[in-house]
Chain A
Amino acid sequence: MERADVREPAPPTPARGRTVRHPSPKEYVRIAVVLAVVTAMEVGIWYAEISRALLIPLLLIFAVIKFVLVVLWYMHLRFDSRTYARFFMIGLAGAVTLFLVVLLTFRAFSG
């Protein structure tokens, strides 16, 4: 006699299909134009005779703009699951921490 509480084995979960939104090719080209312009500005200010105190922050700002554009649009972190962004941020935070610890340890305490 069969017991009533015996459950049927669960059917295998089907492969998940989900709609993913990515930028269009035109949008990719627009981002590439912005990246090229920012790079040209980087090189341009490198040739301009401006003080080191102004040059370095400007160069770093331009690099961060390019970095963020590539990560958000070309690597799709703006459109994909935030879990990927969290993974990447952990690595990035680790790298920045490493950078600060190395410089503070060897520079600040070496006199």
Chain B
Amino acid sequence: MAVHTFESEHEATSTGLPNTKLAMWLFLASDCLLFGALISTYVLYRGSSLVGPYPADVFDIPYTSVSSFVLLASSLTMVLALAAIQRGEMGRMRVWLLATALLGMTFVGGQVYEFTTFYREGLTLSTNLFGTTFYVLTGFHGTHVGVGILMLLSLVAMSFTGRITPRDTMAVELVGLYWHFVDIVWILIFTVVYLIPTGK
């Protein structure tokens, strides 16, 4: 398998691992519980709505599929940004980080359009159980994507001011971990919420 190696430096710790990366993994583990609770709630109330609109009335699978491809593509550009800074190529890193942010904005823009369309079709947060659980779950995910976009743009800005240098690979790797986590959550949401039929 093709791999590349690089020197990773961090301050000495008792575990031999960088504390910031351990903290990020711990945060992601806790975020698993948040999304676990939200997905559980959605599945629990799936098909329990007494009035419409129901999922089959509002979902546009081709549209959401394109959004999924966009988010998957953003994960690729994110790892390419990491590979670039690990090779010391700051210009290329900025390009890939900006591409990731743009793809993230496209995804969030698509979600805003989707929410607006659903609202016009009569699905609000309080219309039925589907509306409540759907908006809360996908809204929390969209918020995570929004936070990720802010982190990506901050990295780009910091690279211009010299606060991110080729030695700071860890900062890009941490933002990358967060971004990929948002992606894997969407992989589950896309399947559980959009693709698995409710029968109603």
B29, B78, B176: the one contacting A88 at CB < 8 Å is B29
**In this assembly, does B50 line the interface, its C-beta being within 8 Å of a C-beta of chain A?**
no
Contact across chains for B187 and A67 when beta carbons are under 8 A apart: yes
Contacts A14-B12, A67-B187: A46 and B61 contacting too (C-beta < 8 A)?
A: yes
Contact with A along B56-74 (1 / 0, CB 8 A): 0000011001001100110
Contact across chains for A92 and B32 when beta carbons are under 8 A apart: yes
Q: How far is the CB of A36 from chain B (nearest CB, A)?
A: 6
Name the B residues within 8 Å of A99 (CB-CB). Answer: 36, 39-40, 43
Name the A residues within 8 Å of B7 (CB-CB). Answer: 17-20
Q: How far is the CB of A100 from chain B (nearest CB, A)?
A: 9
Contact across chains for A95 and B1 when beta carbons are under 8 A apart: no
Name the A residues within 8 Å of B40 (CB-CB). Answer: 98-99, 102-103
Q: How far is the CB of A97 from chain B (nearest CB, A)?
A: 8
B150-200 residues with Cβ-Cβ distance < 8 A to A are 176-177, 180-181, 183-184, 187-188, 190-192, 195-197, 199
Contact across chains for A24 and B197 when beta carbons are under 8 A apart: no
Name the B residues within 8 Å of A59 (CB-CB). Answer: 191, 195-196
Q: Which residue of B lies closest to A47 (CB)?
A: B61
Q: How far is the CB of A27 from chain B (nearest CB, A)?
A: 5
Number of chain A residues close to chain B: CB under 8 A: 57
A13, A20, A22, A29: the one contacting B12 at CB < 8 Å is A13
Q: How far apart sit A104 and B190, CA to CA, in the bound complex (Å)? A: 23
Question: A: which residues have CB within 8 A of B?
Answer: 12-29, 31-32, 35-36, 39, 42-43, 46, 52, 55-56, 59-60, 62-63, 66-67, 70-71, 74-75, 79, 81, 83-84, 87-88, 90-92, 94-96, 98-99, 102-103, 106-107
A-B contact pairs, 26 of them (CB 8 A): A19-B5, A19-B8, A20-B5, A21-B4, A22-B5, A22-B83, A29-B76, A39-B69, A42-B195, A43-B61, A63-B188, A66-B187, A74-B176, A75-B176, A75-B181, A79-B3, A81-B17, A83-B15, A87-B22, A88-B32, A91-B29, A91-B30, A94-B33, A98-B33, A99-B40, A99-B43
Question: B: which residues have CB within 8 A of A?
Answer: 1-12, 15-17, 21-22, 25-26, 28-33, 35-37, 39-41, 43-44, 61-62, 65, 68-69, 72-73, 75-76, 78-80, 82-83, 86, 176-177, 180-181, 183-184, 187-188, 190-192, 195-197, 199
